Amino acid sequence: MTAAADPHREVLERVLVAVRGRLRRKQFDTWFARTTLLDLSAETLVLGVPNDFLAEWMNREYVTTVTAAAREAIGRPVAVRFQVDGAARRAPARAEPAAPQSSATAGGPALGPQPAASTPPGPAAGPSLFMPRAAPPPPPPYGRPTVIAALPGSDLPPIVLQPLYTFDQFVVGPSNQLAHAVARAVADRPGDGNNPLFLHGSVGLGKTHLLQAICAEALRRRPDLRVAYLSCEQFTNEYVSAVTRNATEAFRARFRNVDMLVVDDIHFLANKERTQEELFHTFNALHQQRKQLIFSSDAPPNDIPSLEERLVSRFRWGVVAPLAAPELETRMAILRRKAESVGLVVPDDVVAYVADVVRSNIRELEGAIASLRTRSTLEEAPVDLALAHTALEPLRRIEHAPLTLDRIATVVATHYGLKLADLRSLKRTKSVSLPRQIAMFLGREETGQSLVELGGFFGGRDHTTVLYAVDKVASRVVIDEAFRQTVDRLRDRIRQR
Ligand code: ADP
Ligand code: MG
């Protein structure tokens, strides 16, 4: 059967079915709904999209997927390319939300940079889009923190909570389901099982949000609950100041008599031996009285460097729940929720686009909404793909910048409490050489740089040394589950920028 005998449509359909099998439905619907087939030869498959922005985007993001799909659908390997389809460009635009005066213009939705010749400016082009207007962009959507004074007669620090950090505002998906469920249970019944609760995850994934939601809900149910909610740094400072004032007894009286002790970012305890010891005793005193303990950290207990073993084991007595990076659907749901909370109308295709660009953390999703909002106010234009494309340019550059060996080695070094210079040195002590081998392995995996380049980066080593390291780590991840988890976590951390 030759390509010529295949009606274009049928080939396109087969390819699209294979693509759909490889993507999530929403992703497929967003990016492939208007794909056409422009050309199929023995070696190439050229697909059409309506504009330059999409062509550039698809060529960068989806060529690999479509190449694999096309090979399956057509039965032979072809090089895939996306190109603007002039006919699709002229196709009628979808209805634009209330664009002033422009409803009668031809020329399709202005998605991204259009070649000047093909799209004459419509009558609504008006003054420069980037001219600042009189009205400044709206302030960020965060309200003032709510401060809940400690109970009368109590000397606990006041509890400072963000009004939006509640369970209501927390979007649940597979990445945070367990953490959310346990957090709810603890808020409903503090001290009743799930003790301690230990949440861990990278920055910006909702740890503080959940801790505050627990405090707010627990206090709503029982306003007389004695809650101490503080950052690890605050806890450390309080303790150090008590020691210097010779007031450790008072410190103990304060913190060993609460109903709920919540300490955020406990990984800052690394290397603080005396505070660790104090926390250990505080923990024991509270746990014995069935008082609720809640901690958060950027790593699971056994991965926090220089944390006393006895604390690690206490932290694992109750529930250890991860907060992972949200998957596509959750990111989309979060974007919708955040847009809604600031009263910004964001069409579905823009939601899908932003969720595709911003993958690593939720704070950045919020940042994206804030950028859309600012841009939309400045331009006095509704949010659409073109606006999103421009507004998110800086974020796109960060999220899609290639990973560097520097970054990879820094993450690995930090995890093992080493300096970057150690990994790049000629030191061969065990404490340095295993982390270095892991960094080489991840460097090879994540950057695809050659063994020679990797050897050069890691202290001018020979490529056979790198090969040995990469093989060694690759075989150990297969047989050693704990080791695999460590490597996976480092990989996640590297990818989260
Ligand atoms: P962390 O403490 O893990 O660094 P935060 O709790 O500060 O992260 O979360 C970062 C931002 O993302 C906050 O504004 C928070 O409200 C928001 N956020 C995190 N997870 C969610 C979620 N599941 N749903 C809605 N907003 C979230
Ligand atoms: Mg936090």
Per-residue pLDDT tens digits for 372-418: 999 999 889 999 999 999 999 877 776 666 778 999 999 999 888 88
Q: Which atom of ligand 1 is nearest to the CA of 164?
A: 16
Give the CA dihedral 169, 268, 147, 209, nearest 10 degrees: 0
In 3-state terms, what secondary structure has residue 40? strand
Tell me if 200 CB under 6 Å of ligand 1: no
Closest CA relative to residue 184, chosen from 174, 200, 170: 170
Q: Which atom of ligand 1 is nearest to the CA of 173?
A: 23
| 324 vs 198 pLDDT, higher one | 198
- Residue 123 and residue 71 in contact, taking contact as beta carbons nearer than 8 Å: no
Q: How many CA atoms does the CB half-sphere of 185 hold within 13 Å?
A: 16
Distance 202 CA to ligand 1 centre (A): 11
Burial of 139 (0-12, 13-18, 19+ CB in 10 A): exposed
| Three-point CA angle 195, 362, 370, nearest 5° | 140
- Output the residue whose Cα is nearest ligand 1's atom 11: 363
Tens digits of residue pLDDT in 285-330 = 999 999 999 999 988 998 887 889 999 999 999 999 999 989 899 9
Tens digits of residue pLDDT in 253-281 = 999 999 999 999 999 998 889 999 999 99
- Determine the Cα–Cα distance for residues 372 and 244; give it in Å rounded to an integer: 49
- Residue 329 and residue 173 in contact, taking contact as beta carbons nearer than 8 Å: yes
Closest CA relative to residue 495, chosen from 358, 331, 300, 330: 358
Q: Which atom of ligand 1 is nearest to the CA of 202?
A: 3
Q: How far is CA 418 from CA 376, 431, 433, 446, 465, in A?
A: 45, 9, 11, 21, 21
Return the beta strands (E) in 163-309 as ranges. 197-200, 227-231, 260-264, 292-297
Q: What is the pLDDT of residue 132?
A: 29
Tell me the residue length of the chain: 497
Question: CB-based contacts of 114: which residues, under 8 Å, 6+ apart?
Answer: 51, 52
Distance 209 CA to ligand 2 centre (A): 7
Ligand 1 pocket test: pick from 363, 366, 369 the residue with the most ligand atoms within 8 Å of its Cβ. Answer: 363
Distance 261 CA to ligand 2 centre (A): 16
| 81, β-bridge pairs | 46
- Determine the Cα–Cα distance for residues 475 and 24; give it in Å rounded to an integer: 32
Nearest listed ligand to the Cα of residue 364: 1
Q: What is the pLDDT of residue 107?
A: 34
Strands 260-264 vs 292-297: parallel, antiparallel or unpaired: parallel
Place of tokens 């979808």: 94
Tell me if 54 CB under 6 Å of ligand 1: no
Q: What is the pLDDT of residue 232?
A: 94
- pTM, full prediction: 0.63
- Residue 131 and residue 70 in contact, taking contact as beta carbons nearer than 8 Å: no
Tens digits of residue pLDDT in 433-470 = 999 999 999 998 888 788 988 999 999 999 999 999 99
Tokens of 438: 């892991």
Nearest listed ligand to the Cα of residue 180: 1
Distance 173 CA to ligand 1 centre (A): 13
Burial of 488 (0-12, 13-18, 19+ CB in 10 A): exposed
Tens digits of residue pLDDT in 103-162 = 333 333 333 333 333 333 333 333 322 222 233 334 444 456 667 766 666 788 888 888
User: Residue 48 gets which letter from DSSP?
Assistant: E
- Output the residue whose Cα is nearest ligand 1's atom 5: 206
- Output the residue whose Cα is nearest ligand 1's atom 6: 206
Give the number of other CB atoms < 10 A from CB of residue 482.
9
Place of tokens 């820094």: 410
Q: How far is CA 164 from CA 69, 206, 368, in A?
A: 43, 12, 18
- Output the residue whose Cα is nearest ligand 1's atom 25: 170
Tokens of 69: 């799909």
Distance 11 CA to ligand 1 centre (A): 44
- Determine the Cα–Cα distance for residues 182 and 265; give it in Å rounded to an integer: 18
Place of tokens 């989806």: 62
Strands 36-40 vs 44-49: parallel, antiparallel or unpaired: antiparallel
- Determine the Cα–Cα distance for residues 80 and 257; give it in Å rounded to an integer: 67
Give the CA dihedral 424, 427, 430, 436, nearest 10 degrees: 10
Ligand 1 pocket test: pick from 167, 177, 205, 297 the residue with the most ligand atoms within 8 Å of its Cβ. Answer: 205
Q: Which atom of ligand 1 is nearest to the CA of 169?
A: 25
Q: Which atom of ligand 1 is nearest to the CA of 265?
A: 2
Tell me if 338 CB under 6 Å of ligand 1: no
- Residue 23 and residue 51 in contact, taking contact as beta carbons nearer than 8 Å: no
- Determine the Cα–Cα distance for residues 392 and 298; give it in Å rounded to an integer: 27
Q: What is the pLDDT of residue 152?
A: 63
Q: What is the pLDDT of residue 245?
A: 94
Please name the helix (run of DSSP H) or strand (run of DSSP E) that holds residue 46, with its range, or none.
strand 44-49
User: Residue 23 gets which letter from DSSP?
Assistant: S
Nearest listed ligand to the Cα of residue 209: 1
Q: What is the pLDDT confidence band of residue 93, given thresholds at 50, 70 and 90?
A: very low
